[in-house]
Chains A and B, each alone.
Chain A
Amino acid sequence: MLAFMIRRLLQSILVMFVVALIAFLLFRFVGDPVNQMVGIETSVEEREALRERLGLNDPVLTQFVRFIAGAAQFEFGISYQFKRPVAQMISERFPATLELSIMSAIFALLVGIPMGVYTGLKRDAWLSKIFLTVSLVGISLPTFLIGILLIFLFAVQLQVLPSFGRGEVVKLGFWSTGLLTTSGLKALILPSITLGLFQMTLIMRLVRSEMLEVMRTDFIKFARARGLSRRAINFGHALKNTMIPVLTITGLQLGTVIAFAIITETVFSWPGMGLLFLQAVQNVDIPIMAAYLMLIGFLFVLINLIVDLLYVMVDPRIRVDSKQAL
């Protein structure tokens, strides 16, 4: 197991290295950092001095090392557009994105798994067919369109839920949370559903196909031949075996959720990192793009590692085999 974890860790470091390289190349070669930082009236000498001071005349390798060292301390320089430290801007907006992502993941799991189990066990029930049709619609509707339709229905027509912003937030140290006020919670509902709907349909379809697969296995057949109750077979034996892939995919999807938050945040004017990143892309604000890229890369790698650990905990085959190997 140790060997397995070390291999995983090395892979993660490789991924982070590549992401850092891309972020650095972006930072260094897309547009001229100096031009972005100074005005038109700055003289050539002053520019050259700034260039020297920023270390832009050093060998590229040195610059790359410096970039990584900075990134490790969460230091990404100053936004071209806002003239403020990128790290500060991102940390202000991080809580909004994380709360939205986690709420939508919870929504996706709590609704997706039961629907998947139901449709997997009762393939031919009419409710299963409705679920499947709805899931196909859910996969076919782009996230932003779902958001617009929800806004149209609940904010414009029924006027029961807010269509933009986080509502009232409470400061808990550096963390601003919308989970403690009614308006904050109400503001979370539509964005969470918008962001989670795609994952929900994905989880539902995954649980369904895994259930169908597991129900065909010999050990389920043998469990039935032993006269075990349907409950024990469906929920004890079958569901537990579907949980491994579901866990993996859900974990990996959490990264996707954070990325898709860009769209949801745009639709709902949600003051998160995604919206910040999108504005950066539109204005070619490279330091923010690079920082966001590094942060997302780091989150993805971290989530991957956690999923691997959970995987080991659920599946005794990996656990014990590697214990014997040690």
Chain B
Amino acid sequence: MSETPLTPRAGEQNALLRFLDSDILYSFRQSKLTMLAAAVTASYFLIALFSPWIAPQNPFDLAGLNLLDSLTPPSWHPDGVPEFPLGTDDQGRDMLSAIMYGSRISLAVGFASVAFAATLGISLGLISGYVGGAVDTVIMRIADIQLTFPSILIALLIDGTVSGLLPSVAREDTAFWVLTFSIGLSFWVQYARTVRSSVLVEKDREYVQAARLIGLKPLTIMARHVLPNVLGPVLVIATINLALAVITEATLSFLGVGIPVTQPSLGTLIRIGNNFLFSGEWWITIFPGVALAILVLSVNLLGDWLRDALNPKLR
């Protein structure tokens, strides 16, 4: 490896080949649980993507709701009706549709915040590793300090601060972005560390020196070399982060500082339903809860498998 300076193209191919290596496919086919998790995750993605077209009802369209339908139990219950398989909430909203729409919002926050965290972390990692010196020290110190605190606390704090800075009228409209920003900002450290250590390895390679000599921007060249190398680890971090981001979103929404009730995510639904737990309408909170648990479990299983598959040593 060390003698042959890879061309960028070879590097990319390398990573792609490594990823598609038969070992990974083999271990995927070996594990029925992983296949099941992949199938469940994929279904969630599809439902989230197409919920406006496949959901039986639009739960946000207040005109379509009938208060007479409110608090209907699930269809297998003696008082249930087949129209609402999972029952309805206090507004007469179909729980199944609400869960479909809620998954859409939960996953949207999840993906957006992971994308934000990955972009931020990878950029900071590249800069930190490449520039070195004081810049590196500052970035990595911040990372260290941030790692000392649990990400949920950081997200909560950022969320609280940003909400404090915004006028209260704007809070509802901006909640999605504030939440994405808060969660993303609490996750960037792992990406930065991974990328940085890879940059430090590549930095002294001949091709970087050579690129510098012929006047190419070494940072560009390195980004093209480093990124394929860290593709695997970043993918693992991102997968596990997606699960974590969905949990964090749900938690913040449950705590009442996340997604507002007008566009409920799974966490918001659970929060609403929690008020009805003691009066017997358990389905309003338990079904969104189960939906959330299954989603997170599937993504976690995928992440676990991916980590093991890319890191045979850990098995």
Q: Which residues of A contact B (CB under 8 A)?
A: 14-15, 18-19, 26, 30-31, 136-137, 139-145, 148-149, 151-152, 156, 163, 209, 255-256, 259-260, 262-263, 266, 278, 280-282, 284, 286, 289, 293, 296-297, 300-301, 304
Contacts and interface: CB of A to CB of B under 8 A. Distances in A.
Nearest to B289: A145
Given A145-B289, A262-B255, A140 B150 contact: no
Given A281-B257, A289-B157, A142 B150 contact: no
Contacts of B94: none
Q: What band does the interface of chain B fall in when counting residues whose beta carbon is under 8 Å from A?
A: 35 or more
Contacts, number: 108
Contact of B296 (A142, A148, A151, A301): A142
Contacts of B156: 262, 278, 281
B161 A26 contact: yes
Contacts of A256: 150
Given A30-B164, A140-B297, A278 B250 contact: no
Nearest to B286: A152
Most A Cβ at <10 Å: residue of B165, B250, B270, B293: B293
A296 B153 contact: yes
Contact of A18 (B145, B267, B277): B145
Given A142-B254, A142-B292, 17 more contacts: A14-B141, A14-B145, A30-B161, A30-B165, A136-B300, A140-B247, A141-B293, A142-B250, A142-B296, A144-B270, A156-B277, A256-B150, A259-B149, A259-B153, A281-B160, A282-B257, A284-B160
B102 to A, nearest CB: 14
Contacts of B286: 149, 152
Contacts of B282: 152, 156
Contacts of B306: none
A141 B160 contact: no
18 contacts: A30-B165, A31-B164, A136-B304, A141-B293, A144-B255, A145-B270, A259-B152, A260-B150, A262-B156, A262-B255, A278-B255, A278-B256, A280-B160, A281-B160, A281-B163, A289-B157, A296-B149, A300-B149
Interface in B144-186: 145, 148-150, 152-153, 156-157, 159-161, 163-165
B159 A281 contact: yes
B296 A140 contact: yes
Given A145-B293, A152-B282, A293 B300 contact: no
A136 B301 contact: yes
B158 to A, nearest CB: 10
